[in-house]
Amino acid sequence: MAQNRKQRLFYKNGQLSSEIGNGQSVTLFSASNTPLAERSAETTLLAENSQSSIVNSSSRNSRKYLSYTAYGHGQTDLILGYTGQRYDRLTNCYHLGNGYRAFSPQIMRFLSPDSLSPFRNRTLNAYAYCMGDPINRHDPSGHTWKALKAWITQAGTAVRTFFKKQEPDYRVAATAAIEADAELNAEYGFILNHRDATQKHFKALARIPDLNNNIKELQDAGTATRRHFKSPESLPINIDELDNTKYLTPDEQLRVMGSYIKLARYTQRLDKLKPQPLNPQEAGPAIRESWEKFDD
């Protein structure tokens, strides 16, 4: 007489909750994805290890200890086994991902390639279980490359966070620039103690002296080039006060233009923190308000 091998599996919140087939039904109990017990004709309590593999089963009349190889090969009469996954006795495989992919603990690999693998089915990597490290990894979804992608994403985030934290503190450099340049101190010295000042403002203060020096050096180079190629009689008396950057090489002209652009951007950034003069129409109410506060 042919046996009826049809089985019906029922899931709750993505976890196997019961199995019906072969003339019996088994109900699984779990909490926080941790298997606790199986109930059929009698109730069997379960114990797991750090990989969620069932290593001990205890019923009213018996107690069994289970063991597995690194890739999960072992004998079990329970529904759940290696890494807490359902063991299919018909195929001797674990159907990971709620039936997505069959993993054979005997040959230590999947029977089909991972759909997320960039190798498809062209290499053994697409069939590998836990990237060859079943001791330190587990793969309940059957998507090894999904876990690898998540790990790469987390690693990239950690690297970006690390380098973001390493952003230098420009306040020290800005303070040194202010102390070394009286004109810069008179114009923007208030920035150091401004309540709205950020690292961007301190960076601008620190970079402005270098930009001014670069511009001056290039202007002096243009003046020297003009003196070299022009006769003394044709040179203007105020040649040192003129913009002679057009006598520079194309690369030098690009450098001086870039310095001017950065200088304008930095000064514009700092100018936004300068106190704005009151409109004459607004000055009266502001003065009266300040006197009222003083009287109070």
pLDDT digits (tens, 9 = 90+) for 191-206: 999 999 999 999 999 9
Band the pLDDT of 72: cuts 50, 70, 90. Answer: confident
- Specify the pLDDT at position 203: 93
Q: Compute φ and ψ for 278, nearest 5 degrees.
A: -75, 145
Number of helical H runs and strand E runs in the chain = 7, 11
Q: What's the residue count for the chain?
A: 296
Query: Is 103 in contact with 142 (CB distance < 8 Å)?
Result: yes
DSSP structural state of residue 63 = E
Q: What is the pLDDT of residues 215-259, one digit of tens each?
A: 999 999 989 988 888 888 888 888 888 888 888 888 888 888 999
- State the average pLDDT for the chain: 81
What's the predicted TM-score (pTM) here?
A: 0.42
| Domain coordinates in residue numbering, the chain | 7-146, 170-290
Q: What is the mean pLDDT of residues 20-29?
A: 77
Query: Is 223 in contact with 245 (CB distance < 8 Å)?
Result: no
Q: What is the mean pLDDT of residues 111-133?
A: 72
